[in-house]
Amino acid sequence: MDYDIADLGLAETGHRRIEWAGRRMNVLAAIRDRFEKERPLEGITVGACMHVTSETANLMLALRAGGAEVALCASNPLSTQDDVAAALVDGGIPVFAVRGESAETFYEHIHSVIDAGPDIVFDDGADMTTVLHKERGDAPIIGGLEETTTGVIRLRAMAADGVLRYPVVAVNDSATKHLFDNRHGTGQSSLDGILRAANILFAGRTVVVAGYGDCGWGIAERAKGLGANVVVMEVDPIRAVSAAMNGHRVRDGRAAAREGDVFITATGNIHVFREEHFAEMKDGSILANAGHFDVELDLGALDRMAVSRRRLRESLEEYTLPDGRRLLVVAEGRLVNLGAAEGHPADVMDMSFANQALAAEWIVDSGDDLEPAVHVLPADLDREVARLKLEAMGGGLEVLTDEQERYLASWQDGT
């Protein structure tokens, strides 16, 4: 079996880590049990470009239980858990991912997975999809799945340009993905990353959150819960008002730069904090990015402005400016929750990856019925994921009476 990982000797630790995550992924476990009996993915090869974490490992095992052959590479050079990669290889799944790999190796690994001959592509950020469209147009793909907001934006741009050559399911757009993973997962784990990198107290500090979408909402709420004063920076007036009514101060970039102690980007956009903001920030400000790509902080500009730069702690780099102010960057401006912590907890990835597994089955079942376009998973599957999660959490669902069903379907009766 062909593979490229850091150290196969780490497999034992990886197996334990996968087991621990699996215990909190009840919905995925239920799907895996059904897959084992029904084998809906028999004869299918899955090529996955995803964060190589213990939660992803559980998804790969569920797909294999459904009959699929699986090959996996990383969707970010800094997010691979090397022990998990080793455990998967030990279990017979080819993995091409080494934490800290260069950009060149990252793309070589994507090609290695494409060489495995995937029918369905699981992507997180659309890097593999882009390679499949720009360089490997001959690969016979029947469908793709996309995990994150940034990837969905790229896919919609491809569809608008008329170049998308197979159907793709925007898993991110399932309610049971973005309303939970992006909000609760990114919210908690981004702060976890900053805590592990810098071990600061959030209480009393001013945390600037750039972007008040699902991720920004989660980060702002969790920071507030830890006692921070939250400042939100937004370009969309509706989201900005929503932040204001949730009790956060809303400021433009320059004002936010002057007020903040900790800055976290979650926009999916480029150069959100740049020279004009670095020029205003206080000594000791901490900068982190939770968005998919490492472009939200203009670190090129910061590097040009700095007179010196040193690594202060494992995931914390200090840039000293000519006037003596020091700005600290977490995890090289890459996804802070995966670069400096372990990503989202399994409890929430459970729903995201249940959607992934069901979406793969849906693509196979749909055959040629799906157009080469960006699709959203049918609402009944989304609701089924939520129902199973609620059940696993010990919650009970109220059921509409016949009278209530009739009432909701009628328009004649008013007061």
Contact set with ligand NAI (CB under 6 A): 148-150, 178, 182, 186, 210-216, 233-236, 239, 266-269, 272, 290-292, 335, 337
Q: Which residue intervals of 272-345 are DSSP H helices?
A: 275-278, 299-305, 336-339
From the number of C-beta atoms within 10 Å of its C-beta (0-12, 13-18, 19+), residue 1 rates as: exposed
DSSP state of 217: H
Closest distance of CB 221 from ligand NAI, Å: 13
Q: How far is the CB of 362 from ligand NAI (least distance, A)?
A: 22
Of the chain, the end-to-end C-alpha distance in Å amounts to: 70
Q: Which residues, in sequence order, are bridge partners of residue 330?
A: 316
Pick the closer one to ligand NAI by CB: 248 or 292: 292
Nearer to ligand NAI, 41 or 219 (CB): 219
Beta strand segments in 212-325, E: 229-233, 249-250, 262-265, 286-289, 308-313, 316-320
Q: Least Å distance between CB 405 and ligand NAI?
A: 34
Buried b (16+ CB within 10 A) or exposed e, 197-213: bbeeebeebbbbbbbbb
Largest Cα–Cα separation, the chain: 74
Q: Which residue has the tokens 């490997």?
A: 136
Nearer CB in complex with ligand NAI: 272/364: 272
Angle at 221 between CA 218 and CA 227, to 5 degrees: 140
Shortest CB 288 distance to ligand NAI, Å: 10
C-beta of 78 vs 316, nearer to ligand NAI: 78
**In angstroms, what is the minimal distance from the CB of 135 to ligand NAI?**
23
Are 71 and 116 in contact, with CB atoms under 8 Å apart? yes
User: Could you tell me the smallest distance in angstroms from the CB atom of residue 153 to ligand NAI?
Assistant: 8
- Please say which residue, 238 or 409, places its beta carbon nearer to ligand NAI: 238
Give the bridge partners for 46, in sequence order. Answer: 70, 120
Q: How far is the CB of 159 from ligand NAI (least distance, A)?
A: 17
Q: Which is nearer to ligand NAI, 103 or 238 (CB)?
A: 238
235 or 305: CB nearest ligand NAI: 235
